[in-house]
Structures are given as structure tokens and as C-alpha cells.
Amino acid sequence: MCGIVGILGERQVAPLLLEGLKRLEYRGYDSAGIAALANGHIECRRAEGKIDRLVAKCGQLPLTGTVGIGHTRWATHGKPTEDNAHPHVTERVAVVHNGIIENYRSLREELEKKQHRFTSETDTETIAHLLTDYLDQGMTPQQATSAALKRLDGAFAIAAIFAGHKNLLIGARRGSPLAVGYGDGEMYLGSDALALAPLTNRISYLEEGDWVELHPGQAVIHDCCDKLVERKIHITSLSGAMIGKGQYRHFMLKEIFEQPAVIGDTLSSLVTPDNRIALPEMPFDWAKVPRLTIVGCGTAYYAGLVAKYWFEQLARMPVEIDIASEFRYRNAPLTEGGVTLAVSQSGETADTLGALHVAKEHGQKILTVVNVPQSSMARLSDVVVPTLAGPEIGVASTKAFTTQLTVLLCLAVSAAVARKTLSAERAAAILQALREIPAHLNLVLRDEHFIQELAQRVGEARDVLYLGRGLLYPLAMEGALKLKEISYIHAEGYPAGEMKHGPIALIDEDVPVVFLAPHDALFEKSASNIQEVSARGGKVILFSDKDGVAGIGGKADWNMALPKVDPVVSPLLYAVPVQLLAYYTALVKGTDVDQPRNLAKSVTVE
């Protein structure tokens, strides 16, 4: 999604803005731009495509000034062209914007009648002209901002600089996050704290409806009614170093390899060395919760789907799960005393946030598993259990997923203990199995070269099927999602038992079928499905354990024996080979692994 950085400094801001934009690249974008005040006048540079093109442009035509704003744009209204790139500029103001202005058409019509000339197809340009209109009427930048914000419908974060005001940078937030950074005399705005990590670790987060005037060394924050308010300054633990690629070729590969460590960190924050769960206190009693409703999007939804199996099997709890964008408009009846559990890496996904608002309106308690503790979802929740994955930069989610699974299994075990559906011994055994996952994952990662070889073959396919049963069914969906996201090969994930009800028609010698089939209670069922694929000339790729490979491996064209684990923790183990397969297949295809086309890291629009 779009990214914002704003700097009110003492130094030349252009290089700092470009550096900040590079840190926002991971969010996904298709054009970029910066603007600064040079001798009181607004100067702007924009470029279609990658930031390097903007850097080159700024090299040819340098931008001077000590106050400025920058933006990476992920197109919503209008094509990803230079004209549509932000900042949008008039003689008096330059604006960058994340989100959508829903009433921009009527505002634009109104402003065009007043002779404002528009040069882009975007909704954002309306904000620049609206501010200009108020400034033309004699308002100060602060008055113009306050008036303009009252006219805008939609969800957005905005940053603006004003001609003739070199000591002023204004930001506003409604529905899309915006952080204020406090430096040594310098002040910053960022759509997330990562963009500001090299500049400062002192951050405050604007609340819904807030707007802020930044002056040298000072932030004046107003709420939605223009009342002056204070927002707490947090010291973040993010550092510039945490968001480098290290010795890895891509962030995604680095993050895949970080999984043993971050699963271990997450587990240590939730379970004591003698296997007692130490979760935050829940504002409800698991024993009395009549129904759990899980919501999420994409990979986070698949983590939730695994959790459904865990909560049902271990805690005998009725669970409903839905994709957040469906749930929020489905008007589903929610049970009194019910709990809604959101799963999210960013904590800013508009659909999941929308679903939580609906659940809250219906009196549900909100429990959130999230990787960004200051995020909008975290702030909306009654209780938050953080994943300690650290910043996830690769657009395709990897370590966020496995740390989500870690937290979700701890929650399910804790609910099961409270509901007396799991013995203390079995609970301890599950936690012990979870504790051993990082070591098992290291073994899988050590054998990545096998998957690298397999990727050469998968890279030739046009379609790939992923099949799994029970706890491995959501992993089949996640494997297929990873492959299509970064290699652009069409892939589908199905419950293995469903294959004969339709997808079997696709099978021929050109369609690889990836089976995720540990030797568990459902193994014989999966073995029959493998026979069915094999009988039709399909190419079987089998991820199992040594018993599974000994049992049916002969029918597979390729197989890999993963360590044997307690079946309940198998989703954590099988996540990694499917991530590696997607990664190495993407390398074969030569795609942009960390920033795949059309995708954004944190999807803050509907």
C-alpha cells in the first residue's frame, strides 16, 4: 500500500526523504515522488515505477529545502503514471495521501467550477485544491486543514507542506495510520514507524480523526473536533539494522530462515520453561465462551483456519471462521458472550479492521493476534497477544504466519485447559512439541537444496494443485497462495478429499500435485488420493515424514521426508517447505520476490 514520509528538518531533506521511501518499498507501490520547499516555493519530483527512477531524476534535477514530503503510491484511482503519482501540488500546497477520498468526484466538480485546474485522475489532487481554495479565502494553513478535513469522506492519512511556511508540516489521520517522530530539533511523519527507524525511535501514533501541526522541535496535535490533545510518545525497539537483508538475497528468504528464532521468541513470551502458559489475562472466561468467531485475510485467514481445528479439537469450542471482507457485510448473527478473534500481521488491514468494528458493535469481546502492537487493531481490541516476528518486509507473509500459529496453538491449549477438555499431561506434551519445532525447522532449512531442485520442475508448470487433510488443509491453501503471489503460476489449494468432486478433472502429466501428508490418523485417506492422481498420470510431489514416505513414497515422482512431529504441531513444520518451494520457483521464473506485481504489504483500502 501507499507509504508516507514527511520531514521538517535542519538538514537538506531530499536525500532523507528518498531514504525513507526506500524503507517503505516493502509495502508495494508503482510510482513515487517527493516535494520540498525551496526558498518558500514548492518543488516536486515524481517518477513512474521504482524509487531508483526517482533517485535518478533527483540526481539530474536536485531538490533543495529543509521541509518536505515523500510518497510511494499503490494505484487505486487512476493508472500508475507520473501524472497520478504523489505529491499533488498547487502553487500553495503539496499533498501526499494514503487511502481513498470517497466524495472526491463531487468535490472536484465544485472546485472545477471555481476554476481549479486538475492534472491527474486521482482522488488525492482534490485535497490539494480544496486546501488551496481555503488558503485563497485567506485562511491560515491550520484553518484550511481543519476546514478541508471536515469536507472529506473516506479513510485516509495525509501529509502536506505549504508555500511560504518553511517551519510547518501538517499531517492528518482517519482510518489509515500515521506516526509522528520526534528527532533532535527535527520532526517527522511516517505511515509506519519503520520508515522513521533510522531517524528516531521516539514515536507517537495519531488517533482516529487527529491532525497534527509540526513545528521545529514541537508537535501540536488536535483531535477531530480541533481540541488540543496529547498523544503518548513511545520508544520503539525498531532499528535501521533490523530491516536490512543481511547476507540474504531477498527479505523473504531472510524471513523464512528467521522462523526458528522468532517462533522461539514468541513461545518464550507465552510459555514458562516448565511448560505453563503465561498469556495476558483474558477479559472473559474461556470456560463460558459459547462461540469463537475468527476473522482475517489471506495468510492470516489460513492461520485462523488452522486455529479453528485446534479450538474445536482441543477445547471442544464451537468456532466460526470467515474471511474478514465477507464477515463485515454478512450480518451474521453473533452469540451473546461470544469472542471475536482477529489474526493480522500489520494490524491495519482495512477489511479485518472493519470486521472488528462490526463484532464490537455486536457486543463481542475482541481478542487480536497481531505483529504490530501499536496498530489500529491492537488499539481497538479488548486483549492483544503479540507475535514476536519482528518487522516482516517481504510482501509474501512467512514468519508472521508461523508465529501466528504459535500464539494460536497456545491460546487453544489455554482455552482447553480452562474448559477441562485437555489433561494437564497432554497440554504439557503439546507445548513440548511446540518447543521442539524450531529445532525441526532448522533441519528442514538445512535441506533446502532439495526444494531448490524441485523448483526447477515446478517452474515449468502452468497450474499446480496443493492438497492436504485436516490441519494440513489450510496449509495446502497457504502453499498455493504463496506460489501464485510470487511466481505468478496458477495454483489451487484443496482439502484432499474434495479432489474427486471436481479438481481431479485438471489432472494430467503437466499438473504437479503437491501433497502435504504427514503419517497421521488421516494418512491412509491421503494415500488413496495419491494413488488416484498417480493413476491418471499426474505428477505427485509428496511432503511427508519417514513413515509416510516409506508407505506411499514409491507412488510419488518426488518426495521429501520431514521430521516426525506430534500431528498437532504439523502445520508449523509444513509451512516452511511450501514457503521455500514458492520462493525458489519464483527465482526460476525471475519475478520480483519481495515486491510481487500488484501486491501491497498492508492493505489499508477495501
Compute the Cα dihedral for 129, 132, 137, 142 and give only its sign: positive
Of 146 and 604, CB closest to ligand F6R: 604
Of 483 and 562, CB closest to ligand F6R: 483
601 is known as an active-site residue? yes
Q: How far is the CB of 473 from ligand F6R (least distance, A)?
A: 17
Paired sense of beta strands 169-174 and 179-182, if any: unpaired
Q: Determine the Cα–Cα distance for residues 183 and 177; give it in Å rounded to an integer.
A: 20
Instruction: List the grid coordinates of 271.
Output: 510459555
Q: Per CB under 6 A, which of residues 45..74 are in contact with ligand F6R?
A: none
Q: How far is the CB of 380 from ligand F6R (least distance, A)?
A: 13
Considering only 396, 540, 552, 556, the residue that binds ligand F6R (CB under 6 A) is 396
Instruction: List the grid coordinates of 464.
Output: 499446480
Give the length of the chain: 606
Q: How far is the CB of 600 from ligand F6R (least distance, A)?
A: 8
Interface with ligand F6R, residue 374, by CB under 6 A:
no
Q: Per CB under 6 A, which of residues 100..159 are in contact with ligand F6R?
A: none
Q: Determine the Cα–Cα distance for residues 344 and 299; give it in Å rounded to an integer.
A: 9
Q: Where are the beta strands (DSSP E) in 230-277?
A: 234-235
Confirm if 333 and 293 have CB atoms less than 8 A apart: no
Considering only 122, 124, 266, 344, the residue that binds ligand F6R (CB under 6 A) is 344
What is the CA 428 to chain-centroid distance, rounded?
32
Considering only 31, 349, 534, 570, the residue that binds ligand F6R (CB under 6 A) is 349
Closest residue by Cα to residue 337 from 371, 274, 381, 287: 287
Q: How far is the CB of 305 from ligand F6R (least distance, A)?
A: 12
- The 8 Å CB, 24+ separation contacts for 490-493 are 490/462, 490/463, 490/464, 491/463, 491/464, 491/465, 491/466, 492/463, 492/464, 492/465, 492/466, 493/465, 493/466, 493/467, 493/468
Considering only 31, 98, 397, 559, the residue that binds ligand F6R (CB under 6 A) is 397
Of 126 and 602, CB closest to ligand F6R: 602
Confirm if 367 and 412 have CB atoms less than 8 A apart: no
What is the CA 328 to chain-centroid distance, rounded?
19
Q: Per CB under 6 A, which of residues 557..596 are in contact with ligand F6R?
A: none
Binding segment for ligand F6R among 111-119, 279-287, 339-347, 583-591 (CB under 6 A)? 339-347
Of 133 and 258, CB closest to ligand F6R: 258
Considering only 126, 345, 381, 403, the residue that binds ligand F6R (CB under 6 A) is 345
Cα-only R_g, the chain: 25
Size of the site for ligand F6R (CB under 6 A): 15
Query: Quick check: bond before 87 cis, omega within 30?
Result: yes
Q: How far is the CB of 349 from ligand F6R (least distance, A)?
A: 3
Q: Per CB under 6 A, which of residues 452..481 are in contact with ligand F6R?
A: 481
Instruction: List the grid coordinates of 534.
Output: 498417480
Of 298 and 567, CB closest to ligand F6R: 298
Q: How far is the CB of 464 from ligand F6R (least distance, A)?
A: 16
Considering only 48, 125, 485, 545, the residue that binds ligand F6R (CB under 6 A) is 485
Catalytic residue among 22, 254, 539, 601: 601
Q: How far is the CB of 202 from ligand F6R (least distance, A)?
A: 25
Cβ contacts of residue 416 below 8 Å, gap of 6+? 314, 315, 316, 422, 427
Considering only 352, 364, 376, 406, the residue that binds ligand F6R (CB under 6 A) is 352
Q: How far is the CB of 35 from ligand F6R (least distance, A)?
A: 29
Of 35 and 350, CB closest to ligand F6R: 350
Catalytic residue among 2, 58, 297, 410: 2
Q: How far is the CB of 399 from ligand F6R (least distance, A)?
A: 11
Q: Determine the Cα–Cα distance for residues 108 and 376; give it in Å rounded to an integer.
A: 30
Q: How far is the CB of 448 from ligand F6R (least distance, A)?
A: 19
Instruction: List the grid coordinates of 153.
Output: 469522506
Q: Where are the beta strands (DSSP E) in 347-402?
A: 365-370, 383-386
Binding segment for ligand F6R among 8-16, 342-350, 498-506, 552-560 (CB under 6 A)? 342-350
Closest residue by Cα to residue 496 from 478, 514, 479, 510: 514
CB atoms < 10 A from the CB of 538, how many?
Answer: 22
- 3-state class (DSSP) for residue 278: coil
Binding track over 277-306 against ligand F6R, x by CB under 6 A: --------------------xxxx------
| Residue number, nearest CB to ligand F6R | 298
Interface with ligand F6R, residue 381, by CB under 6 A:
no
Interface with ligand F6R, residue 346, by CB under 6 A:
yes
CB atoms < 10 A from the CB of 153, how many?
Answer: 13
Of 368 and 526, CB closest to ligand F6R: 368
Residues with catalytic annotation?
2, 601
Binding site for ligand F6R (CB under 6 A): 297-300, 344-346, 349, 352, 396-397, 481, 485, 602-603
